Structure 1
Amino acid sequence: MTEQMVDEPAAGDPARRRDRRGLGVVALAVLLAALIAGHRAVPNVHGLGSLVDSATPLLGLGVPLLGLAAALRRSPRALLAVALPAVLWLALYGGAWLPPAAGAGPTAVRVASQNLRAGNPDPAATVGALTDAAPDLIGLQEVDDGDRVEAALGARYPHRSAVSTVALWSRWPIRESHGIDTGLGWDRALRAVVAAPPGDLVVYVVHLGSARAGHTATRDETVAALAATVRADPAPRLVVLGDLNTAPTDRAFVPLTRLLRDAQADAGQGFGFTWPAELPVTRPDHVLYRGLTPTAADVLHTPDSDHRAVTAGFRW
């Protein structure tokens, strides 16, 4: 019997090296795809899950980097693997960049929300920039110099309600207002009934608990408390303005999205990142609503704050 010999590439053979080329890029592409699609499966131990959730929109930046690595490796297999996270990211977040399908008809009320930043050297300049958008209602957080804010807004916004470091300034009368306990030990939120020309509008101005790497429990508790308050509120038309210290992709945000719509998601374009102001990478600032139709949503870069402002327009 004649023994047939089969040639196999030696360990250092170029053919074997070509066969393994790009495997590292393939592995990274699969990992990136798994994070994009399954970020909420990451255990929320010491806030890790919330951190990954919040950063998920930025994971799309890994796609061109992996694509470049695959091209440099001249690996068709790696290029094909990179298409997986690319398609997943586009399916989940690509729609945010399409022209908004805002509601037709004239805008009845315009709102704005701004975290002024405690210790702001010129809060008057910050709120002055807000007025360029001509909002009817302005919700402010971290107000620690009400006199200078009053000097800047009082003439155009004669109606005001304030609780601790949050405040609402309105062109229209405020029928009633009171503080809201979100579990911080003091009221850092308020509820007001604004007599808007089309009808009464309930407005919440809110600054929820802070979230830090490894410390999200207080923030999570305040989200739950706000959700419980909104759930019990019978108002047919309601707007929440504020720094919620929670990105819209964060699993902690779900209790609110079950009750309210997001103006940026419905009538804005892009992610609407607001923090940090100079190079924003996340969106803790929100305009949430129910009982209204959004006509516009945007972000404003105002001076002297570490947050950009958020704006929205609505019709009845």
Structure 2
Amino acid sequence: MTERVIDEPTADEPSPPRGRRGLGVGLLAVLLAAVLAGHRAVPNVHGFGSLLDSATPLLGLGVPLLALAALLRRSRWALAAVLVPAVVWAALYGGDWIPPAAGAGPAAVRVASQNLRSGNPDPAATVDALAGSGADLIALQEVDDDGRIDAALGARYPHRATVSTVALWSRWPIRDSTGVDTGLGWTRALRAVVAAPDGDLVVYVVHLGSARAGHTATRDETLAALAATVRDDHAPRLVVLGDLNTATTDRVFVPLTRLLHDAQTDAGQGFGFTWPSTVPVTRPDHVLYRGLTPTSAGVLRTPESDHRAVTAGFRW
């Protein structure tokens, strides 16, 4: 019988090179940092850049995954490399999780905005939750011709403005309202002047064009049209409420952010994601403003809608 001899490594033989251990993890960490820092430099071909912009806050989830991979590879330098995207993400979005300094004093006006979902089986339950938040103004999108909303809100909000599938319900008189053309081919936005106790407040209720992967042109055009309308509106106090079908991190949002402030950024905590309502991963719903001081901002989960509602409080 022939014995099988297994060669044992000797002390003189070189061990596997440690310098390459964790190389892939380190390269992925550098790539993640580059995408986080330069996502707006990615060409917006077929809306891909826009989609990447909107998803960028979620890329922070890659940091703990890469850190775990570095630990499993027992690579110190790979773990150090993971610190780079961690620092970049924290610089970009860490401030969103710090309790806001704004907010001193009671709110003079409280607003809420909700995409009801067309075909909502119980819109009364949805809007009742909005009224329960204490809002003075309720903006609705995807409103069907349904008397159940009237029955739920009419007694508490006696003033209403409606254009197509968007509506504004108010505790205070509405002096004037008109449809706003955003280039959709049909009117899906309105402008109202609300006679609030401390003075007139101009309120836009907006539902911009839809965006799908590879198809964002209509949304982009409607957002540009809204920005142009707001730019020409010289009202000293103004809020925009609605489903704008994009996140504030999207590059196409810049024309609006140059004109208006974001209540969630200034007075909220966290990203304030609203869609889908079960496990939200982005924020197409917004409260934008100028000429006011935000006291609070947040998100409200309501029944029967595929969006969560957005809320905010302001003082003059």
Asked if Structure 1 and Structure 2 have the same fold, meaning a TM-score greater than 0.5 normalized by the shorter chain, the answer is yes
Q: What does residue 220 of structure 1 align with?
A: 220
The normalised TM-score by structure 2 is: 0.95
1:181 lines up with 2:188 in the alignment: no
Distance 2:152 2:35 in 1: 46
Distance 1:134 1:120 in 2: 22
5 Å-filtered alignment, 1:1-316, equals 13-16=14-17, 18-316=18-316
Q: CA deviation at 1:13?
A: 4.7
**Cα deviation code 1:91-134 (max 9, x no counterpart):** 11000000111232221000000000001000000001111111
Q: What does residue 6 of structure 1 align with?
A: none
The normalised TM-score by structure 1 is: 0.95
Q: CA deviation at 1:234?
A: 1.1
Distance 1:120 1:250 in 2: 29
**Cα deviation code 1:2-22 (max 9, x no counterpart):** xxxxxxxxxx95332x22100
Contact 1:123 1:145 in 2 (8 A): no
1:15 partner amino acid: P
2:191 partner amino acid: R
Going from structure 1 to structure 2, the CA distance change for 1:129 and 1:309 (only over 3 Å counts) comes to same
1:243 partner amino acid: D
2:113 partner amino acid: S
- Please state whether the residue corresponding to 1:203 is helix, strand or coil: strand
2:15 partner amino acid: P
Q: CA deviation at 1:220?
A: 0.4
Runs of 5+ unmatched residues, structure 1: 1-11
Distance 2:254 2:157 in 1: 34
**Cα deviation code 1:39-88 (max 9, x no counterpart):** 00111000000010000000000000000000000000100100000000
Identity percentage of aligned residues? 81
Distance 1:148 1:254 in 2: 38
Distance 1:106 1:275 in 2: 29
**Count of equivalent residues:** 304
- Please state whether the residue corresponding to 1:84 is helix, strand or coil: helix
Runs of 5+ unmatched residues, structure 2: 1-12
